[in-house]
Structure 1
Amino acid sequence: MDGLREKKKRETRIALSWAAVRLTVERGYQNVRIEDIAAEAGVSLRTFRNYFASKGEAIAARQVDRIAAIADGLRSRPAEEPLWVAIRAALEKHYLLGQPGQGTAQPPDERWLAGVRLMGTEPALRGELAKAHAQVQEYFAQAVADRTGATGLYPRLVAAVFSSTIATVSEEWQSADPPRPLDALLDEALDLLTTGLPEPHPRT
């Protein structure tokens, strides 16, 4: 019974967070109320407030939940896998689920992309995303420590590299011309990381 209750709570949290993201992308941050988010997710305003203190927190929760899922996936990878191979496998399994217009065979949807760009300029939301970034980076560092047995600098450095990679890929996805699928950019970034960021060949 407790397991079903926890599953329902997770599903409600995800539904509210995705509703907040969708509405903000479609309408703009200032044009979305928490009442709209609750209605979009099919729950009451009181239920929204049981999960989140603000619409910014609800939006940022997608990043928190996504990176937490990747960290949990890393913990479950076979022990013999090299660390960055395991990180790639965990990321590929979790990162792209439910992302509109981000399949391997097609570029991102232009309207969705424009909304994401606009969403990233909102100061209040940027603050919430910064808090989420700090929270999940610590969680990911602990997953690296649990997997490797390392303490101190190493887990924190891996977590910082990982989170910076996700942020950089997201920025490139938003600005690439012509547009490129997010998963292709992630593959390219991870290839560069696992080969030690070799210096590019000069253009001829």
Structure 2
Amino acid sequence: MTSDVGLRERKKRATRAALSDAAWSLMTERGIEAVTAEAVAAAVDVSPRTFRNYFASREEAILDGILQRAKTFVEALRARPAGEPVWDSFAHVLPDMIMGLLGERERDADAMARACAENPAMLAQQLAMLGRVERMIAEVIAERTGADVERDLAPLLLAAVPAITMRAVVTRWAGGAAGDALPDLVRMSIAQLRDGLPLGRAAPPT
């Protein structure tokens, strides 16, 4: 019985992943308006009803693959040595996370940015997804540091770093920052945030 349940769960996860991958591909290749339950289902060779059993909207389907990969990042963060500073943990796991989420696919980054700019539902779904991921990261940080995620601001503030970093480096990278590989941009960003951004300080008197 346990084996049968495990097999069913693996099949469900595989179907969910295939539907999300198909939705993402349709968005990047043809635009978000091409992402319909019928089109996604046809790409995976299932019924539109199956699509609706897994996802409440096309926006959820498009972003689900990113959400699942982000959960892998959260687990990688949890697996870092207990005594390691959070900033160092970010430097170790965040480059792989961002490469895993987008890879070296400028077209995909542009398509995502355009879809969020043009479609309020897509932007709302993206923000909701980021909120879920930040909460999971905050809980890991609280576990590692002994903080109270319900009362202390520090875990919540630190949990926002991955999303801030991803937005900044993808914007710069997609804009054609010469000579900067995506992982290097991530590490540079973490180092600047950890050390304190000099632009946030008062300018010296002249």
Could you say which TM-score interval applies, normalised by the shorter chain? Answer: 0.7 to 0.9
How far did 1:180 drift?
A: 5.5
The yes-or-no answer on 1:123 pairing with 2:120 is yes
Partner of 1:38: 41
Shift in alpha-carbon separation, 1:129–1:169, aligned structure 2, 3 A: same
Distance 1:113 1:155 in 2: 28
- 1:27, 1:146 → 2: CA distance? 43
| Greater helix proportion | 2
Cα offset, 1:177, TM superposition: 5.2
* Stretch moving more, 61-70 or 51-60: 61-70
Match of 2:25 among 11, 22, 26: 22
Task: Give the aligned CA root-mean-square deviation in angstroms.
Answer: 2.7
- Shift in Å at residue 198 of structure 1? 4.5
Name which of structure 1's ranges 188-197 and 18-27 shifts more when overlaid on structure 2: 188-197
In the alignment, structure 1 segments of 5+ residues that lack a partner are 103-107
Matched, 1:84 2:87: yes
**Residue 75 of structure 1: how far off its partner (Å):** 0.8
| 1:47 matched residue in structure 2 | 50
SS at match of 1:120: helix
Q: TM-score, normalised by structure 1?
A: 0.80
Tell me, yes or no, if structure 1 residue 65 matches structure 2 residue 61: no
TM-score under structure 2 length normalisation: 0.79
- Contact 2:36-2:58 within 8 A present in 1 as well: yes
Quick check: which has more Rg, 1 or 2? Answer: 2
Letter in 1 for 2:24: V
Cα distance change on mapping 1:62 and 1:182 into 2, 3 Å: farther
Aligned residues: 194
| Alpha-carbon offset, residue 116 of structure 1 | 3.3
Aligned-pair distance for 1:88? Answer: 2.6
Question: Could you say if the C-alpha distance between residues 153 and 74 of structure 1 is closer, same or farther in structure 2, counting changes exceeding 3 Å?
Answer: same
Report the CA distance shift for 1:5/1:182 in structure 2 as closer, same or farther (over 3 A).
Answer: farther
Structural mapping, 1:53-202, within 5 Å: 53-97=56-100, 99=102, 102=104, 108-109=105-106, 111-121=107-117, 122-151=119-148, 152-176=152-176, 181-198=181-198
User: How far apart are residue 170 of structure 1 and its match?
Assistant: 2.8
Identical residues among aligned pairs (%): 37
